[in-house]
Amino acid sequence: MPRLNWWGTVLYPAALVALFLGGQLLLKALGVPGAVQASLAALPAVAALLISLPVRVRRCWAEARPWQRLGVLGSKAAVAKALLRGLLKAIALLALVIVALAVSGQLSWMPRINAGLLLNALALGLGVGFAEELLFRGWLFGELSLLLGPQRGLWLQAALFSLVHTRFNLPPIQLVGLLVGLLLLGLALGLQRRADGGLLWGAIGLHGGLVAGWFVLHQGLVTINPSAPAWLMGPNNPIGGVVGCLGLVLLLLVRRRWWAVPSSPARPC
């Protein structure tokens, strides 16, 4: 039987965040350049996540195979298929945004791709996609589903994902747009995991593909007009704009059959 309580669910990610922020403060005190502080501080936090998470799943979820339950391990064919589907969805969403910006005359093509940029994009997509999906759609979604049920867990993980990633110093309209866009993305990622039979790799492909793809586009392929309206492209994040939100709504409609509670009680999400 699972042995969960809300204190543990709250304190577990708080400890990881404290480790990350403490690492940043230490690096700042040591004089490490600010541009790399976050990346370096993330390494021990991610290591702590990878070490502690299977222990927590065994003890608190009463799960003998934590990495399978979290959706990390599966057959090679299923993992590859899920990852490819997620990547294709990310490409489609980014293409929709780029087409809208091009039609509205808000961007110009200025290719400047090099091997270093592509490697940075690959590392960024894999790092952010894997770490955040393991935390949000692997652990948080599963734990909330056990505590509240699959449907409430789906909505709450998406809401928390949105709140954690939103910059609250934005003007009100941009803030609302980003909150809504991130909420829709959190729902889409949760439903992607359901559609992949509990595997996490489709969500990793979608999330990491969006991060890496936007990095390549913005840094190596296009220049966006600085005066482009925020309602169109979002506050430096296409997810928070009308086009990005529309693309996510279409993706959610495609996945509408997965809104139903999973029939198998063996998986929490």
Structure tokens at 196: 């992949």
**Does 264 reside within a domain?**
no
Domain limits for position 23: 1-64
What was the pLDDT predicted at 61?
A: 94
The number of distinct structural domains making up the chain is 2
From 64, 87, 111, give the residue that closes a domain: 64
- 11 and 102 assigned to the same domain: no
What does the longest C-alpha to C-alpha distance in the chain come to?
58
pLDDT of residue 262: 60
At 20, the amino acid letter reads: F
Whether residue 124 lies inside any domain: the answer is yes
Phi, psi (degrees; rounded to nearest 5) at 40? -70, -40
- 149: which DSSP letter? -
29 and 132, same domain (yes or no): no
Domain boundary, last residue among 38, 64, 90 = 64
Which pair of tokens denotes residue 225? Answer: 């007009």
For residue 266, is it within any domain? no
| Shared domain check, 89 and 212 | yes
The dihedrals phi and psi of 243, each to the nearest 5 degrees, come to -65, -45
Q: Do residue 243 and residue 139 come from a single domain?
A: yes
Residue 83 lies in a domain: yes
At 261 the pLDDT is 64
On whether both 99 and 202 belong to a single domain, the answer is yes
What confidence score (pLDDT) does residue 191 get? 94
pLDDT tens track of the chain, all 269 residues? 778 889 889 999 999 999 999 999 999 998 888 878 888 888 999 999 999 999 999 999 999 999 999 999 999 999 999 999 999 999 999 999 899 888 888 888 888 888 888 998 898 899 899 999 999 999 999 999 999 999 999 999 999 999 998 888 888 888 999 999 999 999 999 999 999 999 999 999 999 999 999 999 988 888 888 777 877 777 778 888 898 999 999 999 887 777 776 654 344 44
- The answer to whether residues 58 and 145 belong to one domain is no
Bridge partners of 108, per DSSP, are: 223
223 - beta bridge partners?
A: 108
